[in-house]
Structure 1
């Protein structure tokens, strides 16, 4: 089948879902064409056809069996083009954070099937719009995301890894201030640890202690970022799915994450991670102290995460999308 995916950009973050699912669908024998504005960034290696247009508009959307818009501004030109069956791919429920909440909400009310990324995400869309959706979760490419030796084995200092998303770029829900405050409190009781940051937007932060920023712009570099750390921390207040904790598990690193909703399908507190309430700095500090001071517990959680993540493949995600589209094609 021919699948058209109009996108505003393919930069880092949630667009990984699009790039991975597009490549997997190509590998399964489908024709996939990604349509993108002429000056938009593409950070991922694509096997799908890439078509650049002056702007995403009904007349620039190519025909296909299915059109999968993923962000609310892409939904309307896809729907108005009438060039294929529209399936509304939701990478996150936009009315939670965008300025134009009315328009974002209306993109869920057109008569098109919806794809969500987790059960929490599905329930949120039902609550806010009254519309059901099909859950197709993300996955992990274990060819890249896999264990590597921990740097603490040679340095003697445990490392905490964190992805810093900039509030100035609109990432207001990532809980960055919670992370820094927890680390500040942690220095009072455990002085010997290092913090390593990946900053996709190039953000910097005047933290009250030294930290290291590393370049991690490829899957290989992200894998090393996760794997060389002893603990990975995610502090989002909400997420539709949340891939970084799953990727860190695949790299053999113990995970501490907030209960952000979208990770409930895979994050099992006390089993493959430690789960804390969003915004609860006291519990976050306690979880960090627990894993920094209890080596056996840290290694147990890391190993459980590594074993748990194995079935979470992008091929499984593509299989579910293919099944949905084939079912819709026969309706």
Structure 2
């Protein structure tokens, strides 16, 4: 099959990683895959698909698209051009919704209506499926998230001179991170740090976002936390594998990956209910999970610090449970959905 994926840019740290992994899988399976990007856009990934650029640096148009069997839009800003290209006979339009934008981003009048412009919808979790069905009446087909094979338990945390507690932070400027409740995360980590000042607290951030964010640079300059900007999966895997406890504070995400990646690398997870993380989180079995209104994240972290047996038990179960979340399963499910859609329209 011939696929076209409109992806406006490929910056590390975002959901685009999943698109790259799936397009690479499709290429390896022998499919003809083209990624179309904005003029002068950035690519920070190792992409095996063909990359072409549109005529504009602002938006894609239907005329930018090559002829293909399937056009796979994703973020709502890629939908209109994909829709028009499909109407012009350039391929069947499938929407691959990596998040439900109207919940947490501006321009809801545009992002909400974008869900009516593709005959097929692919989503990441039961939570996202129920949410979109409730609000739009559409029922998307689920492909599960996955842990990239680059992530594994390096078994190095026993070398730590003291416990390490880690979390990922993102650039707050621009208003795109409120759903991660980052201020709450830092407040809770500071509560724990005040009680356990001799432990090591790590903040991890994509390097391109750290370079742009004065807020994150100010946090680093305050020297309350160790700050890391891993350049690739290998460096991030090392940080996960060093961490005894990994912490996430998101209150809304369709299918958050960092907690699952940290599980695969052997860290005990303390997290807040975000909707999509119920796909892999099981409170008291493979993590500690609280609802945001319970205001319990700091106490859960401290519980893991004070109870090594519980910490080891949850980390071991989390690493075991994470094994089912494979790229092969995810990409294969996506491929099968596309094949079925092609067969559906040809009948």
Taking the aligned partners of 2:140 and 2:108, their CA distance within structure 1 comes to 20
Is the CA contact 2:251–2:272 (under 8 Å) kept in the aligned structure 1? yes
Q: What residue in structure 2 maps to residue 9 of structure 1?
A: 9
Secondary structure of the residue aligned to 2:52 is strand
Matches within 5 A, 1:3-152: 3-11=3-11, 12-55=13-56, 56-82=60-86, 83-142=90-149, 144-151=150-157
* CA deviation after TM superposition for structure 1 residue 192, in Å: 2.3
Distance in 2 of aligned mates of 1:218 and 1:235 = 23
Cα deviation for residue 98 of structure 1 reads: 2.2
Q: Distance in 2 between matches of 1:54 and 1:258?
A: 43
Instruction: Name the count of aligned residue pairs.
Output: 328
More helix by share: 2
Following superposition, the deviation at residue 123 of structure 1 comes to 0.6
Are the equivalent residues in 1 in contact too, given 2:15–2:98 (CA < 8 A)? yes
Candidates 197, 201, 211, aligned match of 2:203 = 197
* Contact 1:150-1:230 at 8 Å conserved across structures: no
Q: Are positions 1:270 and 2:279 aligned together? A: no
Where in structure 2 are there 5+ consecutive unaligned residues? none
5 Å-filtered alignment, 1:196-235, equals 196-200=202-206, 201-202=209-210, 203=213, 204=216, 205-206=218-219, 210-235=224-249
Aligned partner of residue 87 in structure 1, secondary structure: strand
Asked if 1 retains the 8 angstrom alpha-carbon contact of 2:79 and 2:117, the reply is no
Provide the aligned C-alpha RMSD in A. 1.6
Does the 8 A contact of 2:94 with 2:118 survive in 1?
Answer: no
Instruction: Give CA deviations for 1:224-248 in whole Å, capped at 9, x if unaligned.
Output: 1111111111111100100111111
**More deviation in 45-54 or 56-65?**
45-54
CA contact under 8 A between 1:237 and 1:279: conserved in structure 2?
no
SS at match of 1:107: helix
- Residue in 1 that maps onto 2:166: 161
TM-score by length of 1: 0.95
Asked whether the 8 Å contact 2:62–2:81 carries over to 1, the reply is: yes
Contact 1:175 / 1:279 at 8 angstroms: preserved in 2?
no
Once the two structures are TM-superposed, the CA of residue 149 in structure 1 deviates from its matched residue by 3.6
Which among 327, 334, 338 is matched to residue 325 of structure 1? 338
Unmatched runs of 5 consecutive residues or more in structure 1: none
CA distance in structure 1 between the aligned counterparts of 2:223 and 2:194, rounded to whole angstroms = 11
Q: Which moved more, 1:184-193 or 1:311-320?
A: 184-193
1:181 matched to 2:181? The reply is no
Q: Give the match's secondary structure for 1:33.
A: strand
Secondary structure at the aligned position of 1:88 is classed as: strand
The SS at the match of 2:51 is strand
